[in-house]
């Protein structure tokens, strides 16, 4: 569904990445991890058509994405406080992008109701962002993306701004919704454990100028559990491998500390 080939980008003299190639197949959840500054957000912005990279090609359903935002794509950013319209209710926020689609009012309302139900906010449709916790606001952002029914959902550190408990809940919510509704997801995270817990594959980027250091299949049962999965031998071994690759790429102190903890 998504084919990225030989992507390279520089901001002035700052070569961020060179020769990034990756694919995401229909129905897959692929996580990208990499050291700070290796261009993860730049890569997602390029795929979403918000910017044009200097070299390489991005094909979505075989069609090139070059500086135009594809219609069947949705993006969820880390910063929920800036991604929701504060003057709209939760339902209004979810409904807003649907106005671009050719739907009747009844169909639009039904999609909003359904998406809010998926994320456990069936009763919160009338609340405004300021009346909701951070975790609830991020659920609204996810509901908005899901209601749109994108062919591909891009998520840039979607759970980085919420507390640990909410993060676990939102991770499981993503896995459940994705299982039940067949979404294809490309998700960027700083968190090695999260990448292994969520991913069908983990793509590890090296430090800048970044390339793909590894593209690993996550051999864990599809049904995951925050306690059992994270304690399993397969999980521990995979996370060690990702940490080793990040460490091996000679990146930031943060990742070196993680690797040292193995
Ligand atoms: N609009 C811009 N203009 C100039 N430089 C930029 C711009 N956007 C990003 N950069 C630089 O490009 C590099 C990659 O940034 P990017 O945000 O894509 O990395 P990242 O891997 O997502 O980082 P982090 O993990 O810290 O969020 C950084 O050195 C950043 O300073």
Mean pLDDT of the region 71-76 = 85
Cis preceding linkage at 235, omega within 30: no
What is the structure's pLDDT at 254? 44
Give the chain's radius of gyration (CA, Å).
18
What is the structure's pLDDT at 257? 44
Domains and CATH numbers, the chain: 1-67+200-262 (3.40.50)
What is the structure's pLDDT at 164? 87
Q: What is the DSSP string of 78-113?
A: S-HHHHS-TTS-HHHHHHGGGGGS---HHHHHHHHH
Of 185, 191, 183, 203, nearest in space to 162 by CA: 191
Q: Is the pLDDT of residue 250 over 70?
A: no
DSSP 48: T
* CA–CA separation, 250 and 241 (whole Å): 14
- Please, which residues have CB within 8 angstroms of residue 142's CB and are 6 or more apart in sequence? 76, 119, 158, 170, 173, 174, 177
Residue whose Cα lies nearest atom 31 of ligand 1: it is: 37
Predicted TM-score (pTM) of this structure: 0.89
Q: Does an H or E element contain 78, and which? A: none
pLDDT tens per residue across span 100-116: 888 999 999 999 999 99
Mean pLDDT of the region 83-100 = 93
Q: Are 52 and 66 in contact (CB under 8 A)?
A: yes
Which atom, in ligand 1's list, is nearest to the CA of 43? 18
* CA–CA separation, 109 and 95 (whole Å): 7
Which atom, in ligand 1's list, is nearest to the CA of 34? 21
Q: Are 9 and 16 in contact (CB under 8 A)?
A: yes
Of 102, 100, 98, 123, nearest in space to 112 by CA: 98
Please list every protein residue whose CB sits less than 6 Å from any atom of ligand 1.
11, 14, 16, 34, 36-42, 190
What is the structure's pLDDT at 114? 92
List the end-to-end C-alpha distance of the chain, in Å, as a whole number. 35
Mutation pick for ligand 1 pocket among 42, 53, 210 (CB with most ligand atoms within 8 Å): 42
What is the structure's pLDDT at 260? 42
Q: Does an H or E element contain 47, and which? A: helix 40-47
Mean pLDDT of the region 225-253 = 84
* Cα 101 from chain centroid (whole Å): 23
Q: Residue 4: CA atoms inside 13 Å, Cβ hemisphere, count?
A: 25
Residue whose Cα lies nearest atom 3 of ligand 1: it is: 11
CA of 37 to the centre of ligand 1 (A): 5
Phi, psi of 64 (to 5 degrees): -65, 140
Average pLDDT of the chain is 88
Q: Is the pLDDT of residue 21 over 70?
A: yes
What six digits make up the tokens of 142? 């996810």
CA of 247 to the centre of ligand 1 (A): 20
């Amino acid at each position: 569904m998504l084919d990225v080939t030989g992507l390279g980008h520089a901001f002035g003299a700052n070569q961020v990445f060179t020769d990034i190639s990756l694919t995401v197949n229909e129905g897959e959840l692929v996580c990208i991890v990499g050291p700070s500054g290796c261009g993860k957000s730049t890569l997602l912005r390029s795929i979403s058509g918000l910017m044009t990279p200097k070299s390489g090609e991005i094909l979505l359903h075989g069609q090139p994405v070059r500086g135009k935002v594809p219609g069947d794509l949705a993006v969820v950013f880390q910063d929920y406080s800036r991604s929701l319209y504060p003057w709209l209710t939760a339902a209004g926020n979810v409904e807003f992008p649907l106005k671009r689609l050719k739907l009747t009012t009844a169909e639009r309302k039904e999609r909003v109701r359904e998406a809010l139900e998926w994320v456990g906010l069936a009763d919160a449709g009338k609340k405004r962002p300021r009346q909701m916790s951070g975790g609830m606001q991020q659920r609204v952002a996810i509901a908005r993306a899901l209601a749109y029914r994108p062919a591909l959902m891009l998520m840039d550190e979607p759970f980085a701004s919420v507390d640990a408990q909410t993060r676990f809940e939102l991770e499981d919510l993503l896995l459940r919704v994705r299982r039940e509704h067949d979404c294809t997801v490309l998700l960027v995270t700083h968190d090695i454990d999260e990448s292994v817990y969520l991913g069908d594959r983990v793509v590890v980027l090296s430090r800048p100028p970044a390339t793909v250091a590894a593209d690993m299949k996550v051999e864990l049962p599809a049904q995951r559990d925050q306690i059992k999965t994270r304690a399993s031998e397969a999980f521990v071994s995979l996370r060690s491998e990702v940490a080793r690759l990040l460490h091996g790429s000679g990146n930031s102190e943060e990742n070196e500390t993680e690797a040292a903890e193995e």
